A and B are shown apart, each in its own frame.
Chain A
Amino acid sequence: MSTDYETVIGLEVHAQLLTRSKMFCGCPTAFGGSPNSQTCPVCQGMPGVLPVINRRAIEFAIRTALALHCTINAGCRFARKHYYYPDMPKNYQISQYEEPLAVEGWLEVAVDGAPRRIGIERLHMEEDVGKLIHEGTLETARASLVDFNRSGVPLMEIVSKPDVRSAEEATAYLRALRAILLYLGVCDGNMEEGSFRCDANISLRPRGSKEYGVKVEIKNMNSFKNVQHALEFEARRQAKALAAGERIVQETRLWEADKGYTLSMRSKEYAHDYRYFPEPDLVPLKVEQRWVDQLRTTLPELPVVRQQRFVSQYGLPAYDAELLTQSRALADYYEAAVREYPKPKIVSNWVLSELLRELPGDDEAAITRCPIPPKNLARLLALIDDGTISGKIAKDVFEKMYRSGEDAETIVRREGLVQVADAGALAAVVEQVLAANAPAVEDWKKGKKQSLGFLVGQVMKTTQGKANPAIVNQLLLEQLPKPS
C-alpha cells in the first residue's frame, strides 16, 4: 500500500540590487575589492553610526513589485531582525517585517506548455551581510575571517506562496523571476556569485489533502540545476521516509552538490527569536500613488509579453520566442538584427545556435560584451542571400567574426571566401570531380539518387566550400548521364 504524495514547495529569493551605492551608506556595491576596502563606519556597524535609505533601492523594489502584480503597501517600514553572527556587523539586520514594501502578487510559469500562476507572498527590502572565509571547512576551521565589503548591499527578498508543485516548476519559476529582474535591470541574476540566491521550503502531503506536511528548508543551491536536483532528491527522501512510517523533522538541510544529497545542518533545535521591532533610526516610507504611477511608466516590456509578441509579430515558434526572451539583452540583440535583416526565423536560428554557442553566458553582461554587433550578424546573413558566400562558409566567417570582432565583408574579402557562382569556372571543377569519382557516377546510372549529394559535396570540398551549391547542382544534373 503506497500513498501518492504531492510535493509542496515555497521559494525564497534574495536578489542583490544593482544600485551604485549600498542600502544605507555611500560605499560602492561593486564586486571584487580587496577585503574590507569597500566599507565605512556605517556598513561596519561602528558605534554612533546611522543608516539612510537609498532611494534607488526602493524604486527598484517598487518596479519589481509592479512587474510581479503585487499590492504595494501605502506605508512601509524597516525593522531590526536580531541574531548573532560575525558576518553581520550590528548583530541585527535592517529588514522589513510586519510592514513590507509589497504583498500578494503572482508570476506565471509554464511547464510543458501549461501556464500556472505562482503566488507571491511578499516582497521586502533588507541589507546583505559580509562574507566569512573559513580556515578549512566550517566544521574543521579553527578560525574564520570576516570581510565586510558585501555588508549593506541592498537585497530584495521575494517570497512565493507554497504554490509550486515540482522541482521543474521551481526552476521554471526561478528562471521566470530572474528574467523579470534582468529585464527591469535591477539585478544581474548571477547565481554562482550569489547576486541571485534561492532557498526552498519543501514538504509532502497525501494527494488531495488540504493540510501541509512538515516542511524542510533547503539551502546552498547556487544554480538552476542544483535547485532542480536538490528538490528532486528531497522529495524522494521525504517520500521514502514517510513510506517507512518516519516523521519528517522540521529543519534546515544543505544541498551537497558534489555528493548529490541534502544534509541536515544538525543545529540544536533552539527556535530563533529574532526580536523584531521597528527600526528607530529610520522613519517610515509613505509610498504615494504618484510615485508608483511614475515608476510604472518606466517599466520595460516584460518577458512574457515580449515572448507573446515574438510569436505574433515574427511568426516564431513558442520555443524560439521563450529562449530569445530569457534575457532582455538577448531579445534586444535579436530584434536589432531582425530590423536589419527581416527574416525572423533565420535570425532566430543563428542567434540560438551560433551566437549562444559562442557566448560565455546568456546574462546581460555577456551579451553586451558580444564582439558581433547585431548589424554585423545581419550583414553576414545578407551575404548568404546575395550569393556572396555559402551558408557553410558563413558559419566559419561567424566564428572568425566572434574571435576578431571584424565584420563579415572584411573577412570574406581578405580570405577570398567569395562564393564561386561563375558556371564556366565551376564546370571545369565538375568535370574534374566526375572523372575522379567514376564509381559514384556508376551508382547514379543505376538509379542511386544519393550519389548526387555525394558529388555536390565533392565539388564543395574541392572549392573549399566556395562554390554556389545551387549552380553546382544544376551543372551536375546537366553533365551526368541519364539514369538507366
Chain B
Amino acid sequence: MPTIAELGARYRSGETTPTQVVESYLQRIETLDPQVRAYLTLTRESALARAEATEKRLKAGKPLGPLDGVPLAIKDVICTKGVRTTCSSKILENFVPPYDATVMVRLNAAGAVMLGKTNMDEFAMGSSTENSAFFPTRNPWDLARVPGGSSGGSAAAVAAGLAAGALGSDTGGSIRQPAAFCGTVGVKPTYGRVSRYGLVAFASSLDQIGPFAADVRGAALLLQAIAGHDPLDSTSTDIPVPDYPAALGQGIQGLRVGIPSEYVIEGMDPEVGKAVSAAIEALKGLGAKTEKVSLPTTNYALAAYYLIAPAEASSNLARYDGVKYGYRAAGGKDLIQMYGRTRAEGFGPEVKRRIMLGTYALSAGYYEAYYGKAQRVRTLVRRDFQQAFERVDVLACPTAPNVAFKLGEKEDPLQMYLCDVFTIPVNLAGLPGLSLPCGFTQSGLPIGLQLIGKPFDESTLLSAAYAYEQATPWHARAPALP
C-alpha cells in the first residue's frame, strides 16, 4: 500500500485519483475487514463525496496540502459531527455528536477523507481491544492475536492497509502499544500539543490524541495537521508548532540516546529485548551516542497510574446516566434505579472496575492516601525524566515488554495492566513518545521500539525514528492477509 506521502505525490502527478484510491480502500475494507474487524462504522458516502471534492481541487491546481484526499481511520473516541461515536460502549451505542472534535475540524480543513470509525477498548480502557462492547479486533499479522489497545482498531486498520493513516488516543500507551503490536508507527504527542476538545475523556490529565501511519513521514504529516493551540482546550499550549516533515532526513549524528536501566523487567519477552538492543546498536551505527540513565521511580509509575487514571475516569464517566444521551435501562421506577441500572447495563466489566477503583481512591478518608499519594509519585516520575533529559536528547526502550498475545490469553486485569509498564511513565510526565517497528519475532510478530522525548520535542523523536527507519527494512514488511 502507498504511504501518505506517496499518495499525495501520485495525486499530484495524476497517476491515480482520490476517488480511485478511496474506492480501492473501501473495496479492501469490504474484503478484509470481516476478518480484522478494525472498523465499527464506515462512512462510505461522505468519504466518496470528500474524495470528489479533492479531485476538483486537484483539477483546479489547488490541493489543500499533503493530506488532501488521504483516506484515514478515526478511533471511535473522537467526536465526529453527525457520525455516531460510541467509544465501543453500549452506553454510547447510538450517540451521534452534534459537533466535531478540533482534530476533525483540522483534518477536514486539510482535505483528509475519513473512511470510518475504529474499534477500541471501551472508553479506551484496555490493552487488547478485547474490551470493546461490540467485538474484538484481530491482529493483521496473526488473526488469533490481539492488535493491542486501546486504539487497536486504528493500528490494525493501518497495518492491514485498510487506511493510509489513523488517529488514536493514548492515556497510558494506547497508541504506542498497538502500534508496536501491529508493526506501525504511532506517536503520542506531548500533553497539550494536540487539542483534546472532542476527545471523549478517559483520564483528562493524561489523554492525548496522536497519529498512526505506515511510516515516520506519514506520522509527521498527520501530526503537523492536528497539532497546535486550541482556544477550546485550556490545557493546549500556544508554543509554536515546528515543521515536522522538515525535521526528517537531518540525520542523528551526535544525538544523545539514553537507555533507561529500569526498562528491563522480569518476564519480558527475550526476543523483544534482543530486537531493542539491536535497534540501539543501529542507532549508534547512525552516529548516535548512547548512555545508560536511571529512572528510579519507574517501578512505582504503574501503581500511581492505576490510581490517577481510574480516579479521573470515575469522574469523567459520571455523565453517562441515561438522562441526556446514550443508553437508558428500561423499567427503572425512579431516578436512582434508572441511574444504577443504566450504568450497570451500559458499561462493561473493565470500565466498571475502573470506575469502582477511581471512586474508591477519591472517596472520603482515602483521598490523601491514594489519589494524593499518586500525584506526588507523579512528581517524582517527572523529576526522573527531567534529570535524564539534562544528559540525553531522547530515551530508547521497548514499547511493550511483550508482543501481541492471543485473544483471551490475559484474563487477569493486573496482568493486562502490566502490558503498559513502559508506556505509562511517559503519560504521567506528559512527554512525547513514539513507537516504530524494530524487528519481528521468529513467529513473525512485530516488535516496537519506543523513543521518548523532551516536552514539545516531537521533531527530534521523528527525525531519530526516520533515520532508523531509513536504515532498516522493517517498515517495508506487510502482513500476509488471506
Contacts and interface: CB of A to CB of B under 8 A. Distances in A.
Contacts of A275: 314-315, 359, 362-364, 367
Contacts of B95: 47
B233 A46 contact: no
B150 to A, nearest CB: 16
Contacts of B203: 280
B200 A277 contact: no
B201 interface: yes
B339 A283 contact: no
Interface stretch (B58-66, B321-329, B346-354, B446-454): B321-329
Contacts of A382: none
A89 B324 contact: yes
A277 B201 contact: no
B197 interface: yes
With most chain B CB atoms within 10 A of its CB, the pick from A82, A84, A280 is A280
Contacts of B85: 47-48
Contact of B339 (A52, A53, A84, A277): A84
B205 A91 contact: no
A281 B97 contact: no
Contact of B234 (A50, A89, A90, A273): A50
Nearest to B320: A47
A50 B371 contact: no
A194 interface: no
B364 A47 contact: no
A92 B315 contact: yes
B323 A86 contact: yes
B234 to A, nearest CB: 5
A281 B230 CA distance: 13
Contact of A280 (B92, B204, B364): B204
Given A275-B363, A280-B204, A89 B319 contact: yes
A241 to B, nearest CB: 29
Interface string A359-395: 0000000000000000000000000000000000000
A51 interface: yes
Interface residues of A, number: 29
B396 to A, nearest CB: 30
Given A52-B231, A283-B235, A277 B315 contact: yes
A109 to B, nearest CB: 35
Nearest to B359: A275
B318 interface: yes
Contacts of B99: 41, 46
Nearest to A45: B319
B79 A277 contact: no
Contacts of B235: 50, 280-283
B55 to A, nearest CB: 31
Interface string B62-95: 0000000000000000110000010100001001
A47 B324 CA distance: 11
Given A84-B339, A90-B318, A281-B235, A47 B196 contact: no
A7 interface: no
B205 A280 contact: yes
By size class, the interface of chain B is 35 or more
Nearest to A272: B364
Given A41-B97, A47-B79, A53 B234 contact: yes
Contact of A80 (B197, B199, B315): B315
Contacts of B233: 50, 52
Interface string A81-107: 010101001111000000000000000
A48 B198 contact: yes
Contacts of A84: 318, 321, 339
Interface in B334-388: 335, 339, 359, 362-364, 367, 371
A82 B371 CA distance: 15
B101 A48 contact: yes
B315 A50 contact: no
B319 A48 contact: no
A146 B325 CA distance: 13
Interface-central residue, B98, B200, B324, B371, by most chain A CB under 10 Å: B324
Given A280-B204, A281-B204, A49 B362 contact: no
A47 B200 contact: yes
Contact of A47 (B87, B205, B335, B367): B87
A282 B235 CA distance: 7
B312 interface: yes
B367 A48 contact: no
Contacts of A280: 203-205, 235, 312
A91 B198 contact: no
Interface in A39-68: 41, 44-53
A49 B79 CA distance: 9
Contacts of A271: 364
A123 to B, nearest CB: 22
A48 B197 contact: yes
A169 B319 CA distance: 41
B205 A48 contact: no
B311 interface: yes
B232 interface: yes
B204 A48 contact: no
B323 A146 contact: yes
Given A41-B98, A92-B315, A49 B234 contact: no
Contacts of B362: 82, 275-277
B166 to A, nearest CB: 18
Given A277-B362, A280-B204, A91 B318 contact: yes
Contacts of A90: 318-319
Nearest to A146: B323
B364 A86 contact: no
Q: Which of A44, A48, A84 has the most CB of B within 10 A?
A: A48
Scoring A86, A146, A277, A282 by chain B CB atoms within 10 A of each residue's CB, the highest score goes to A277
Interface string B205-223: 1000000000000000000
Contacts of B87: 47
Nearest to A85: B335
B234 A48 contact: no
A51 B234 contact: yes
Contacts of A86: 321, 323, 335
B363 A49 contact: no
Interface string A264-275: 000000010101
Interface string B230-256: 011111000000000000000000000
B409 to A, nearest CB: 31
B472 to A, nearest CB: 38
Given A46-B97, A280-B312, A52 B234 contact: yes
Q: Which 7 A-B pairs have the closest CB atoms?
A: A91-B318, A280-B204, A275-B362, A280-B205, A47-B200, A48-B198, A48-B79
27 contacts: A45-B319, A46-B79, A47-B85, A48-B78, A48-B101, A50-B233, A50-B234, A52-B232, A52-B234, A82-B315, A84-B318, A84-B321, A89-B323, A92-B318, A146-B323, A271-B364, A273-B364, A275-B314, A276-B367, A277-B371, A280-B204, A280-B235, A281-B201, A281-B204, A281-B234, A282-B234, A283-B234
Given A48-B85, A273-B363, A277-B312, 14 more contacts: A46-B79, A47-B79, A48-B198, A51-B234, A89-B319, A89-B323, A89-B324, A91-B321, A92-B315, A275-B314, A276-B367, A277-B311, A277-B371, A280-B205
